[in-house]
Structures are given as structure tokens and as C-alpha cells.
Structure 1
Amino acid sequence: MTPPQAARPLTSANARRRLAAPTVAMLPRIADSLSFLYLDIVRIHQDDTGVCAEVTSEQRGTETVYIPTAALSCVLLGPGTSITARALTTFARNGTTVITAGSGGVRCYSAAVPESLTTLWLERQTRAWANDTHRLAIAQAMYDMRFGIGTAANGTSLDRLRGMEGQRVRAHYQLLARQYKIGRFRRSYDPSCWDSQDPVNLALSSANTCLYGIVHAAITALGCSPALGFVHNGNQQAFVYDIADLYKAELTIPLAFSLHASPNPEGEARRSFRHGLRLFQLLPRIVTDIQQLLDPDHTYEAPDPAEQMVDLWDPVSGSVPAGLNHGNQP
């Protein structure tokens, strides 16, 4: 007679399979994760030990590298990547978000979000977005992050903040125009007359698109909604535009002006942005900035994975445990 599952002998194959099958308590806290991993031109599959990536080259042939699935928050799959259903299932069971990205992670085409991903940040974003007072406070905080503490003092209207933003961005353009000796510059974006734009505008639009992809990936990995913006509104990318604006003056605008004499500003902007950007530093930075905006009092603590179960909403306490018969409660 076949022994029950619990009494089966622990062969090496069974041991490997058990190690590759995580329980809820084994899932890592987000603070302990290795965060983001970018892969391209590899084949990802699942074997008896875990998820591995096969890298093939003429010099070394085929090499196998095992991926630490339980320690990753997000995997970005670049061009030339193939992945099996079993490997995707393992990522999902370990709470890893899988994003299909462009070369270097500068696009975000689609995302597979695991069921175990906490909704804590999405709930905070939604509550703040739905409350005009909180939404204004976060919009002001975004202007502070861009232009310095105190720029958006309490009571400053958004109309006034938009005017201040326009003045500072225009001054930044003028400074860079003088630095690169290109004369007067005016920002324009006209998709219908794309080829007639000057090299700086072409490079800036191209670099911004790359930045939007990275920001979108970070927002998705955190579990927030790209559509619920605080400054921008009415678009599925509204929150992406909000967060991307925090970094344009530092990343994309100087890059665009440096390509003012390029014969191919779009292509060079994409390549320069991809090669010059330290992907593994920007993505965690974006996540940290979003968390600071949505949790300015720093009250967030990573939940215990063993406690990340579905709760029931309660208007008084916020939530009550699920999985209980509340008819038996006093």
C-alpha cells in the first residue's frame, strides 16, 4: 500500500521539490528583499531545485544561473527573454511581481502582480487621492521634493504652485541653453509634427518616455495604481507623470540638452539614458519616495508575511480578521 504523503521517504528529489514550494510564512518582508532584478536574452525555467536562467554565448556555451525567487520584489524581463509557466507560477507563489520591460528596463509593457502583494500602499494612495485635503498636501509635498523644502507652504494654492513650477522649469531651460550655447529654447511636444522638432525636444521626449517606463514599473511593483495621480488627473498614467516629474530636472533635461547637436537625438537619448542610468539605484529610490509621499509620518512597518491574509473591512477599527464565524462573537 502506498504510504500517506506525510510518511513518504524524503528522497533528494522530494526534498528539492519541498524547498522550492514556499509557504506563506516563508515569504520575505519587503525590507529584506533584493528589490529589482533585470534580465534579458535568457531562457527562464523551473527545475527540481528552483527557477534558473539559461544564458547562451559563443564563448562559454550555455550557463545556468539560479534566481533567488524568495528574495526578489520584482523581476523585469527585457528583450530576448522567454519564461515557462512553471517559473511564472513560482514567482507568483513567492510574491514576486514580473514585469515585461524594454531594453534596460526603460519601458513597461505589462505586469503580473502576485496575489500575495499587499494592498497597503494602494489603500493609502486611494484614501489620500479621494480626500481633497490629503491630495493637496501630497501635491504640495511633490513640489517641495522638486524645488526644495518650503516651496509649497501651507495654504499655497495649486494655481500658484503651477505658476512657480513654470518659472523654475523655464529658468532651468535657459540655464542649460546658455551652458550649451544653443540660443533660445522653447519646450514643445507635437506628435503630428514629430520630425520637424529640434534635437533637444526630440531627445527630451524620448528620454522622458524611458523614465515613464521605469516609474511605471516601480509603481506596479509597490502595488499602487498608475492612474490615481495627485497633480495630474484623468489619465491611466497620471501617477506615473507625477512621480516622473520628480526626476526630470536631474535626469532627462540635462541629457536632452547635451544631445543638441546629435544627428539622431531620439536613439542616442534612449541609449544614453539606458547606459548611464543606474537602474538598481533609481528603482528603489522611486519606491522610497512614493512611500514617503503616501506615509509622511513614517508609520509604515513591513507586515509579517504570516499575517498577510485577507481581512474584513470595518468602519470603526479599520479591519477585522477573516476566516472566522463572526456569528459566534459576543
Structure 2
Amino acid sequence: MTTVAQRHASSPRELTRVAERISFLYLERCVVHRDDNAITAEDADGTSHIPAATIGTLLLGPGTRITHQAMSVLAESGAAVAWVGEQGVRYYAGGRALSRSSALLEAQASRWANRRTRLEVARAMYRLRFPEEDPSGLSRLELLGHEGKRVRDCYRQQAERTGVRWRGRQYVPGDFTAGDAPNQAVTAAGQCMYGVAHAVVAALGCSTGLGFVHSGHELSFVLDIADLYKTDIGIPVAFDVAAEGDHDIGSRTRRALRDAINRTRLLDRCVNDIKQLLVPEGESSDGENDDRVTLQSDRDAAVAAGKNYADEMTW
């Protein structure tokens, strides 16, 4: 068997597309190690083998330990890793892009850097969430006001649909148990959606910090993307779970959300939405899947790397 150091890094075409991966996998009270290109989870019941390239986000709950080699193969596979606290509250995530190209990142930075196009993307995000409403002409503050009303209405509608008593959104950072059952379910669903969105954003090579609605945080763009599916998937699933009882809210919400993500093919949808937001229809996305390095020249031209250009200069 070859050593880890002798294995070559997988090319983008050798890796499983993010849209075809398991949305997230939750582990707790086990040791995570590596066996060839799979990770292993070992606990009192034995050892399970999990192909690293099929994972979108690995959620590591209480009592987990992970080895350096396991982290190495997860990073090479483009999987995000989240260390999750009790009941899934708080996490730290990282990963490596499945694409070696910076095309989407450059498109994101270009649209973010211009105030006009930044607002256009924010409006497009609102349109994805509420397609029956036209946000054209709305200011930033008006967008926030409309979004707040729609989310509040969603809570009320889901409470009526499921028969769950809703007293309003209550969340104390760091204290999952401070809220009632529906609030705990909403929080747990939100944390999972952030992890899934983080995995997709990182896998596509985009910046997690350049947000179009959220700002000032290293995960601003992740929060933007996760919110696209809040009223469509996250909140309805949370209320369904709360309607079934207030026991074991966190784990039941994760399982229900996992099933909903697979049923709705959310990863595929998320990938397509990000690409459409950053590279609208009619604009070129050439080079998105290229595994090559170029050098910047004058007038935004790109020239081949690995060449000495001294002879091309007129001294």
C-alpha cells in the first residue's frame, strides 16, 4: 500500500460532484480515522467505512476524535467538516474546493465589488425565495422589511398547518434549550442548513465571506445561500418535527431535514442557484472546470503560466 504522502491529489474530474453527494453525515462518540480513500468511524459497536468523496458535510458531535490522516482525505475530497456542539449548536467548518478553477470566485468578487450588481444579486436572491413577488426597484432596507414579513408569515402559516403553538422566534446564542420545542427545531434546522450551504459554497470554490445580503462575517455568503431555502424547506421541516413531540428535538430535526434534502435534491438545486446568481444567463462561465494556471496580462488578458516573458519585453 502506498503512503498518504505518495498519493497524488485527485483532479476535479475524479471527484464526486457536490450535487450527487450525501448532504451531511452526523457522527458522535467515536474515533474517525482513514483507511485508503475512505474514512472509518470506530466505536464500541465496531468500525464503519465511509467513502470520503461521497460526503458533503461531516458533522462531528460530542465525544468524537478525528485523526490528521482523516482530515487530509476529507480535504482532498472537498468535504466540509463541522465540529458540532451539543444539539448541533455552534460549529467550525473547513474544506477544499472540488474545482481548481477560480472562475466562480472571480465572478462573485466582481459582482460583490460593484454596488449596483451587489444589489442586483440581493434582489435575485429574494426572487428565488419568493418567485411570486417582484423585488425590482426595492431598496436594501425595503428588501429586508419584505423578507422579515415573509418569514414571520411563514412561521404563522406553519404553526397553523401543524397545530403547533408559536409564541414567536426566540433564540439565545449558545443556549439551545432556552427556546421551546418549535424554536429548538428551527434552530437545529438552521444549523444543518448552514453546514450544507457551507459545503456547497466551499466545494464550488466561492468565498464564504463575500455576502450580498449578510455582511461583516466570515460566513456571510453561506448565510445568504442557506436562507434561500429557509421558508421552503427548513421551517416546514422544523414545525413537522415539533408537532410530533418535544423529545430529542435536535437529532429528529437533523434526520428529517436530511430526508427532505435528499427528496428535494437540494444540493443540485443549490449548485445551480449559486451559479445562476454569480454568472447570470447570457454571461460566459468558461474555464469553470479547468484545472490550469494562467498569468494576468494587460487589458484583462490571460497568458500561459510556466513561461519566461523577458524576451517579449521591449527594454
Superposition TM-score tier, normalisation by shorter sequence = 0.7 to 0.9
Query: How far does the alpha carbon of each residue in 1:15-65 deviate from its partner, in whole angstroms, 9 at most, with x for none?
Result: x78xx84477x541778677535474575435xxx4244466888x657x5
Counterpart of 1:178 (choices 160, 182, 197) is 160
Task: State yes or no: 1:51 paired with 2:34.
Answer: no
Instruction: Judge conservation of contact 2:294–2:302 (CA < 8 Å) in 1.
Output: yes
Conserved? CA contact 1:44–1:81, under 8 Å: no
Deviations 1:158-217 (A, max 9, x none): 233223223322332332333344567433434499766443333322322222222222
Q: 2-side partners of 1:108 and 1:220: how far apart?
A: 15
Contact kept, 8 Å, 1:34 with 1:73, in 2: the verdict is no
The amino acid across from 1:283 in the alignment is: L
The offset of 1:115, in angstroms, is 9.9
TM-score by length of 2: 0.74
Q: Aligned letter for 2:267? A: L
Structure 1 CA distance for aligned equivalents of residues 204 and 100 of structure 2: 8
Q: Find 2:254's aligned residue among 254, 257, 274.
A: 274
Q: Determine if contact 2:99/2:205 at 8 Å carries over to the other structure.
A: no
CA radius of gyration, larger in: 1
SS of corresponding position for 1:186: coil
Structure 2: where are the runs of 5+ without partners?
none
Q: Which has the higher contact order (CA 8 A, sep 6+)?
A: 2
Matched residue, 1:286: 270
Aligned to 1:206: 188
Matches within 5 A, 1:37-48: 37=22, 38=25, 40=27, 43-46=32-35
The answer for the alignment partner of 2:126 in structure 1 is 143
Distance, in Å, in 2 between the alignment partners of 1:195 and 1:274 is: 16
Scaled by the length of structure 1, what TM-score is found?
A: 0.71
Structure 1 unaligned spans of 5+: 1-12
Residues 179/39 of structure 1: CA separation in 2 closer, same or farther (3 Å cut): closer
Q: 1:157 to 1:315 in 2, by over 3 A?
A: farther
C-alpha separation between the residues in 1 aligned to 2:174 and 2:39?
42
Q: How does 1:117-266 map to 2 (within 5 A)?
A: 117-148=100-131, 151-153=134-136, 155-181=137-163, 185-191=167-173, 197-258=179-240, 259=242, 262-264=245-247
1:320 pairs, out of 294, 299, 303, with: 303
Percentage of pairs with the same residue? 32
Q: Partner of 1:7 in structure 2?
A: none
Residue identity opposite 1:45 in structure 2: R
Aligned pair count?
300
